[in-house]
């Protein structure tokens, strides 16, 4: 399987850097744009044709996507962080809607899930077992040292890391990213899995993550999805002007 076959312009001789990429959050627990529906889950479009996670409900994913000017059939690749229904629930319908789309899972997905995908779309499936460049300036981490993979984009101001739930610890994911790309981390966007931990040390865990991010030099944060409102408030307070509000409809040119 050719990992590098989208953004084909980037491979022309003499092409120095891929065109700027736009991030569009399609699916999130919160909506930032009137008309977009919020729902527990996360999905973000990278550039024109790479989707990171699908959210749970395909009809909602497609509806938000179309409202943001994206046709599901135009996608060429989808990478999924982990098999949680809030991140992978829309995958099978997406595969039906996007006839040539390739799928990037990893070996820590449940074997039954992988077998199901392989049976139907085996020729389009890649299992990512280590840090891999998907296209110029776009990487997927593979599931080590955690149970899920993150997406990494080299933006103009540094690396942007997209997480699904970032379990068990976002700092571990970022440390792994830095082993492969020793470059400044500009922004972390995604779920940090702190919602529901209110009575189980959420605040301590959030403070630990914030400290870890600071140690790694993470410049900006955009926690959303399963981070939960209480923990999001702690990040907002800690990061001040460098806190980025993220929800469905969020867009950023990187
Ligand atoms: Fe989560």
d(CA 56, CA 186): 28
In DSSP terms, 156 is beta-bridged to: none
The DSSP-derived string for 34-58 is: TTPPP-SS-EEEETTTEEE---S-H
Three-state secondary-structure class, residue 222: strand
For the residues 212-227, what does the mean pLDDT come to? 98
> Looking at residue 198, what is its pLDDT?
61
Span from the CA of 226 to the centroid of ligand 1 (angstroms):
5
Span from the CA of 171 to the centroid of ligand 1 (angstroms):
15
List CB contacts of 249: < 8 A, sequence separation 6 or more: 24, 25, 31, 32, 33, 36, 64, 68
Span from the CA of 166 to the centroid of ligand 1 (angstroms):
7
Span from the CA of 199 to the centroid of ligand 1 (angstroms):
16
Ordered alpha helix ranges (H), the chain: 58-67, 85-88, 91-97, 111-121, 170-180, 202-216, 229-239
d(CA 4, CA 134): 5
> Looking at residue 200, what is its pLDDT?
73
Span from the CA of 8 to the centroid of ligand 1 (angstroms):
33
Span from the CA of 230 to the centroid of ligand 1 (angstroms):
14
> Looking at residue 199, what is its pLDDT?
61
For the residues 33-54, what does the mean pLDDT come to? 97
> Looking at residue 117, what is its pLDDT?
97
Q: Mind listing the domains of the chain with CATH numbers?
A: 19-253 (3.60.15.10)
Three-state secondary-structure class, residue 98: coil
d(CA 129, CA 140): 10
Peptide bond into 145 cis (omega under 30): yes
Structure tokens at 88: 């992978």
Angle at 239 between CA 225 and CA 206, to 5 degrees: 55
Q: How many CB atoms lie within 10 A of CB 20?
A: 11
pLDDT, tens digit (0-9, with 9 covering 90-100), for 76-96: 999 999 999 999 999 999 999
**pLDDT of 108 above 80:** yes
Span from the CA of 13 to the centroid of ligand 1 (angstroms):
42
Span from the CA of 168 to the centroid of ligand 1 (angstroms):
9
In the 8-state DSSP scheme, what is residue 243? B
Span from the CA of 19 to the centroid of ligand 1 (angstroms):
32
Span from the CA of 45 to the centroid of ligand 1 (angstroms):
19
Greatest extent of the chain over all pairs of C-alpha atoms, in Å: 56
Span from the CA of 27 to the centroid of ligand 1 (angstroms):
14
């Amino acid at each position: 399987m050719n990992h590098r076959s989208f953004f084909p312009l980037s491979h022309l001789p003499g092409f120095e850097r891929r065109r700027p990429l736009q991030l569009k959050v399609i699916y999130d627990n919160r909506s930032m744009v009137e008309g977009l529906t919020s729902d527990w889950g996360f999905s973000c479009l990278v550039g024109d044709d790479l989707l990171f996670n699908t959210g749970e409900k395909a009809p909602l994913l497609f509806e938000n996507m179309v409202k943001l000017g994206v046709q599901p059939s135009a996608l060429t690749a989808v990478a999924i962080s982990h098999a949680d229904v809030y991140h992978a629930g829309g995958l099978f319908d997406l595969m039906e809607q996007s006839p040539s789309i390739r799928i990037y899972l990893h070996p820590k997905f449940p074997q039954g899930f992988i077998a199901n995908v392989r049976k139907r779309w085996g020729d389009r499936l890649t299992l990512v077992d280590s840090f891999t460049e998907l296209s110029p300036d776009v990487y997927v981490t593979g599931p080590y040292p955690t149970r899920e993979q993150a997406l990494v984009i080299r933006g103009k101001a540094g690396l942007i890391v997209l997480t699904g739930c970032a379990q068990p610890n976002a700092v571990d994911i970022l440390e792994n990213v830095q082993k492969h790309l020793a470059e400044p981390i500009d922004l972390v966007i995604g779920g940090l899995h702190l919602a529901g931990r209110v009575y189980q040390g959420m605040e301590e865990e959030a403070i630990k993550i914030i400290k870890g991010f600071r140690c790694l030099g993470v410049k900006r944060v955009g926690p959303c999805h399963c981070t939960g409102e209480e923990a999001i408030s702690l990040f907002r307070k800690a990061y001040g002007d460098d806190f980025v509000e993220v929800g469905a409809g969020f867009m950023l040119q990187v």
